Amino acid sequence: MQEIPLEDSIGLIYPRLTVLVTTKDEEGKVNAAPYSWIAPVSFKPPMLYLGIQRRETQTIKNMRITKEFVVNIVTRDWAAKAIACEAKLPDKVEKSGIQFRESKKVRAPTVSEAKIVLECRLQGILETGKADHFLVIGQIVHAEKDPNIKDDEIVMHHTGPNFVSPSARFEVERKK
Ligand SMILES: Cc1cc2nc3c(=O)[nH]c(=O)nc-3n(C[C@H](O)[C@H](O)[C@H](O)COP(=O)(O)O)c2cc1C
């Protein structure tokens, strides 16, 4: 085994699901930004966690105001558009070419191309000690999935500009 410097240790938690989080500001302007620090936190009610840099990003500003967001799971067909939304430009969303449609339960829009969609209501934006990311907790209030989605369409973030997709599904017996 090779020892990894602690500053690189978080990078060992890979691959991570890549999502595009959509929000609206108070005037109704749509924002979208890619995230890969995402995990479930509760089955009942269904809740998820996002790790978002501890600064007032547009996503955080919008969440604080509207208390809603949509997690759009990124697939390979629109990955480049989703990643383009990382840019710090006021017109990044328009430039990305992403199309949106109305969500079912929240005002934040859904990405038209998305094959898995989780509409969320904000439960809290938590600060933990010196952690440099907020723990953003959302309750899933509506979920949708394209029944034809294939595992290998799903985009996982590896490191930097590198992404992978699940290549094999296999079973491991679980004794309960
Ligand atoms: C694949 C990918 C994954 C990312 N994951 C995260 C993440 O989990 N947390 C985070 O704070 N930023 C993450 N970022 C960076 C944000 O997208 C970036 O800070 C963005 O500019 C925020 O946009 P906003 O100001 O519109 O919210 C990621 C970027 C990419 C390309």
pLDDT at 176 over 90: no
Indicate whether residue 24 lines ligand 1 (CB < 6 A).
no
pLDDT at 65: 97
Give the max Cα distance, the chain: 53
Shortest-distance atom of ligand 1 to CA 18: 1
pLDDT in tens, 64-97: 999 999 999 999 999 999 999 999 999 999 999 9
**Percent of the chain's residues with pLDDT above 90:** 99
Average model confidence (pLDDT) across the chain: 97
Indicate whether residue 81 lines ligand 1 (CB < 6 A).
no
Cα 105 to ligand 1 centre (Å): 24
CB 134 within 8 A of CB 125: yes
Q: What's the mean pLDDT in 55-60? A: 96
pLDDT band at 115 (very low <50, low <70, confident <90, very high): very high
CB 113 within 8 A of CB 157: no
Indicate whether residue 34 lines ligand 1 (CB < 6 A).
yes
CATH, range 16-164:
2.30.110.10
Indicate whether residue 130 lines ligand 1 (CB < 6 A).
no
